[in-house]
Amino acid sequence: MVSKRIQKALLGNSAIRAMFVEGKAMAEKYGAENVYDFSLGNPATPAPAALNDSIRDLLDEADKKGAAGSLELHGYMENAGYKDVRETIAANLNKRFGTAFDDHNIVMTVGAAGGLNIIFKTVLDPGDEVIVFAPFFGEYRQYAANFDSEIVTVNPDLKTFLPDLNDFEAKITEKTKALIVNTPNNPTGVIYKPETMEAIASILEKKQKEFGHDIYLVSDEPYRELVYDGNKEDFLTKYYKNTIVGYSFSKSLSLPGERIGYVVVPNEASDAEELIRGIEISNRTLGFVNAPSLIQKAVARCLDEKTDVSFYDENRTMLYDGLTELGFTCIKPEGAFYLWVKSPVDNEEEFVEEGKKLHLLMVKGSAFGCGGFVRLAYCVSHETVKNSLPAFEKLAQVYGLK
C-alpha cells in the first residue's frame, strides 16, 4: 500500500522519462538508427578526457598513501563536501565572474536536483509559494511539493519566451518565498540577458519591501556553460542579493549519471550563515549526506574543462534551420540543447502522436506547463538530426505547412 502522494505520482509520472522508455522500446523494434529520439536531456558529447585522467590520478595518489589514502578518497567528509574542493570551486568562480566567495559559501551536492531540494528544505515552510516562469522543468513542481509548497506559474511572452514581467509582479504574494530562474532555459534555450535579470531583481526588491520578508531567487544553472552566438556565461548573484545558486556538472562535463554539483550562498544574502548551515543540515537529513566523494575531487581538477559545445551548436543550427525551412515555428535557442517548437495544432499531444508515427520522439509542452509547444532535445548525434529531417518534412506535410 503506497502513500497517497505516490499513488497520485504513479498515475502521472514524468512524461520525459516515459518517452525515454518508449524510445528505447522503439529503438529495439525498428533499429536505433530509424528512431529520432529527441526526448531526454542526456548529453551526447563525451566527458573531457581530463575527467577520467583525473580519476586515475586520484586513485594512484590514494594507493600510494595506502590505507589513509583510501579512507580520505572514499570516506566521509564534512556534509558540505571536501574543504579543498570547495576552496578550488570558490576561487574558480571568483576568477571567472569577479565574485568573492570562499569555501564556506559552497556546499557540494548530489547534482542540481539534490541542490534545489536542500535549498527548498532550508527556505520553504508549508503553504509557501515558489514562482516559476513557464515553460519550466516539470520536476520543480515535485521539488516544491516535497516541502508542502506549491508552484505559481508566470506566463511567458509568446514571442520571446522571456517571462511576462507584469504577470510576474502580479503573482507575487505574501506567501511567495522563492522564484526559480533557469537560464539558459530548459525547455526553450532562451537566455535571460542582463536587462531581464535587472528587471526581475528590481521587482523582487520592491516586493520584499512591500511584504517585509525575504524572497529568494534560486538560480538553477545546469546549462551555464552551454551558450552560443557569442553569448556570455553569466552568474546571477550580481543582480540580486538574495540569490542562491544550484549548479550541476552534468552538462558542462557530460556526467549526469555521477550526480555532482554545488550550491552557492553569497555572504550578502540575508541570514547567509543560517542559510549555509541549514543547507548543510538538509543535505544530511534528506539522505544525501554528502556529494559523492571521488567525483567531488575529480571535478575540482576539471573546472576549466568543458565538453564540446560546438558539437551541440552544429545540431542547433541544423535542426533550427531545417525545421524553420519546413514551415515550423521555432524559438531560436541561445543556449542549452533544446529547441522549442510551436505545435501546428493547439493540442500538442496530437502533434506528438503524429510525430511518433514517423519515429520522431518529442516531449509535449504541457509537461513544462506550456501547452501548444513541444521540446526537442538535440543532444543527439549529428546523424540523428540529419536523418530526422525527412521525417520532419513528412510531418510538415501532414499539417500542410509547406
User: Scanning residues 250 to 289, which ones bind a copy of itself (CB under 8 A)?
Assistant: 254-260, 270-271, 274-275, 277-278, 281-282, 284-289
Please pick, from the candidates 18, 22, 27, 42, the single residue that binds a copy of itself as defined by CB under 8 A: 42
Q: Per CB under 8 A, does 34 bind a copy of itself?
A: no
> Residue 215 CB, nearest distance to a copy of itself (Å)?
10
Q: Which of 28, 63, 325, 383 binds a copy of itself (CB under 8 A)?
A: 63
- Listing DSSP states for 50-83 in one string gives HHHHHHHHHHHHHHHHTHHHHHHHHS---TT--H
Task: List the grid coordinates of 206.
Answer: 520592491
71: contact with a copy of itself by CB under 8 A:
yes
For residues 186 and 223, the answer to whether their CB atoms sit within 8 Å is yes
Q: Does 25 bind a copy of itself (CB under 8 A)?
A: no
Distances (CA, A) of 24 to 21, 105, 139, 166: 5, 41, 22, 43
In the chain, % helix, strand, coil (3-state, to 5) comes to 50, 15, 40
Enumerate residues 137-176 that contact a copy of itself by CB under 8 A: 139, 142-143, 146-148
Q: Does residue 372 bind a copy of itself (CB under 8 A)? A: no
CA 145 to chain centre: 18
3 binds a copy of itself (CB under 8 A): yes
- Which of these segments, 75-83, 319-327, 337-345, 356-364, binds a copy of itself (CB under 8 A)? 75-83
d(CA 265, CA 106): 7
Q: How far is the CB of 257 from a copy of itself (least distance, A)?
A: 3
Q: Does 214 bind a copy of itself (CB under 8 A)?
A: yes
The answer to whether the beta carbons of residues 386 and 318 sit under 8 Å apart is: yes
Helix ranges (DSSP H) in 12-48: 15-30
| Count of residues that bind a copy of itself according to CB under 8 A | 88
Beta-sheet pairing, 216-220 with 150-154: unpaired
243 binds a copy of itself (CB under 8 A): no
Can residue 46 be called a binding residue for a copy of itself (CB under 8 A)?
yes
One residue of 196, 252, 293, 343 binding a copy of itself per CB under 8 A: 293
CB 308, min distance to a copy of itself, A = 10
From 58-66, 166-174, 337-345, 392-400, span contacting a copy of itself (CB under 8 A): 58-66
User: Should residue 222 be labelled a site residue for a copy of itself when binding is judged by CB under 8 A?
Assistant: no
Question: How is residue 3 annotated by DSSP?
Answer: -
Cβ(394)–Cβ(326) below 8 Å? no
Least distance to a copy of itself, CB of residue 304, Å: 19
Helix (H, G, I), strand (E, B) or coil at 186: coil
Q: Which of 15, 19, 26, 47 binds a copy of itself (CB under 8 A)?
A: 47
Region near a copy of itself per CB under 8 A, out of 76-84, 93-101, 358-366, 388-396: 76-84
Q: Which residues contact 306 (CB under 8 A, 6 or more apart)?
A: 48, 225, 252, 253
Contact segment (CB under 8 A) with a copy of itself among 77-85, 99-107, 327-335, 390-398 equals 77-85
Q: Is the peptide bond before 266 cis (omega within 30 degrees of 0)?
A: no
